[in-house]
Amino acid sequence: MRILYFDCIAGISGDMALGALLDAGADFDEIQTRLASLPLEPFEIETGHIETHGLTSARVEVRTSTSGVIRTYASIRALLEAGDLPKEALNIAQRIFRRLAEAEAVVHRKDVEQVTFHEVGAVDSIVDITGTAIALSQLGVERVFASPVPTGMGMTKSEHGAMPIPAPAVVELLRGAPLFSKGVSVELVTPTGAAILAALSEGYGDMPLMTLESVGYGAGSATLDFPNVLRVMIGEEQERAGTSAGSEGDASRDTGEIVLETNIDDLNPELYEYVLERILDAGAQDAWLTPIIMKKSRPAVTVSVLCSSSRVEAIQKILFHETGTLGIRSMTVTKRALDRDTIKVETLHGPVSVKVGKLEGGTTTVSPEFEDCVRVAREGGLPARDVYEEAVRLAREQLARESDKDT
CATH code at position 305: 3.30.70.1380
Residues 5 and 210 sit within 8 Å (Cβ to Cβ): yes
Percent of the chain with pLDDT over 90: 52
- Same domain for 386 and 351? yes
- Same domain for 126 and 204? yes
How many domains does one find in the chain? 3
251-266 per-position pLDDT tens digit:
455 556 889 999 999 8
* Residue 193: inside a domain: yes
174 membership: H or E segment, kind and range: none
Q: Is the pTM of this model over 0.85?
A: no
Residues 280 and 243 sit within 8 Å (Cβ to Cβ): no
pLDDT of residue 220 exceeding 90, the answer is yes
- Same domain for 63 and 150? yes
- In 271-395, beta strands by DSSP E: 286-294, 298-307, 329-347, 350-359, 362-368
- Same domain for 121 and 202? yes
Residues 145 and 202 sit within 8 Å (Cβ to Cβ): yes
* Residue 299: inside a domain: yes
- Same domain for 230 and 348? no
**Strand 161-165 versus strand 154-158 pairing type:** antiparallel
* Residue 242: inside a domain: no
- Same domain for 127 and 271? no
- Same domain for 213 and 83? yes
- Between 363 and 335, name the one with better pLDDT: 335
Domain boundary among 285, 300, 327: 327
* Residue 104: inside a domain: yes
Which range has the top average pLDDT, 34-48, 107-121, 234-248?
34-48
- Same domain for 112 and 202? yes
What pLDDT is recorded for position 121?
53
- Same domain for 112 and 233? yes
Domain boundary among 237, 269, 302: 237
State the residue range of the domain holding 355.
339-406
- Same domain for 41 and 20? yes
pLDDT of residue 159 exceeding 80, the answer is no
* Residue 245: inside a domain: no
Residues 201 and 8 sit within 8 Å (Cβ to Cβ): no
- Same domain for 204 and 170? yes
